[in-house]
Each structure stands twice: as C-alpha cells, then as structure tokens.
Amino acid sequence: MEHNGYLTVVPVEIITPQEDGVRIPGSKVKNNNTEVLKKITNTNILSEVIYIAEKSFCALGARDFWRIDVRMNDRGKCNFIEAYLFSGMTKGSSYLPCAYKLRGDLDYNEVLNLVT
C-alpha cells in the first residue's frame, strides 16, 4: 500500500477489561497492557468513526498525525472524545503502531519511519 509519507486514518476498537462492571481505560489498564485492539468490521460504524476522526482532525487544524479518540454511547452514537498531539510509539503497546499492525500493512519500524 502506498502511503506517500502520510499516515492515514486507521480506526480500531479498543476493548478494556471490565472492572466492577465498568470498562475504563485508565493507567492501570495501560500500564499492564491489558486492553485488546480489534478491527471495526461494521461498515456503518467504521464510516462514522472515520468521518468523525477526519472532521475533528481538520477542525483542530491538525497536521502530520494525531490520535483522535471516538467513543460510542449505549445508543450506538459515536462522539469525538479527545485528540492527542502525539500518539505514543512504544513497541507492542502504543495504539498507533498496533493499529497499523492489526490492519496488516505496516510494521512498527515502517510506522516509526513515517512519523520521524
């Protein structure tokens, strides 16, 4: 896949372990690397997440790459949650390189080369 030096939208679902009936991706979950990343297979949800991410990216005046977080509520509505100026790049646990690996087109070193 040709990337022309630019990162593209790589949506994934992040599933955190349930604790006391709640799924919260806090520091304990992140430190223990216990969340699971999955491809979004529902095409309607995938389209909505991509739309929100692209619109948010542009509205914030972003350039290069950011991580845009979107959350689906209990009624199935996706909403912008927050944007990160720089996505983590820890091998094996940071969402951006893991998302590309899950998608199957770039390994960690190839993603690292794109962002440096």
Domains in the chain and their CATH numbers? 12-115 (3.30.470.20)
- Separation CA 45–CA 95 (nearest Å): 19
Phi, psi (degrees; rounded to nearest 5) at 67: -105, 125
Given the structure tokens 């806090």, which residue do they identify? Answer: 26
DSSP state for residue 86 in the 8-state scheme: S
Sign of the dihedral defined by the CA atoms of residues 84, 72, 55, 11, in that order:
positive
Q: What's the pTM?
A: 0.78
- pLDDT classification of 4: cutoffs 50, 70, 90: very low
Are 83 and 60 a contacting pair, CB within 8 Å? yes
pLDDT band at 70 (very low <50, low <70, confident <90, very high): very high
Give the whole-angstrom CA distance, residue 49 versus residue 21. 25
Average pLDDT over residues 59-81: 88
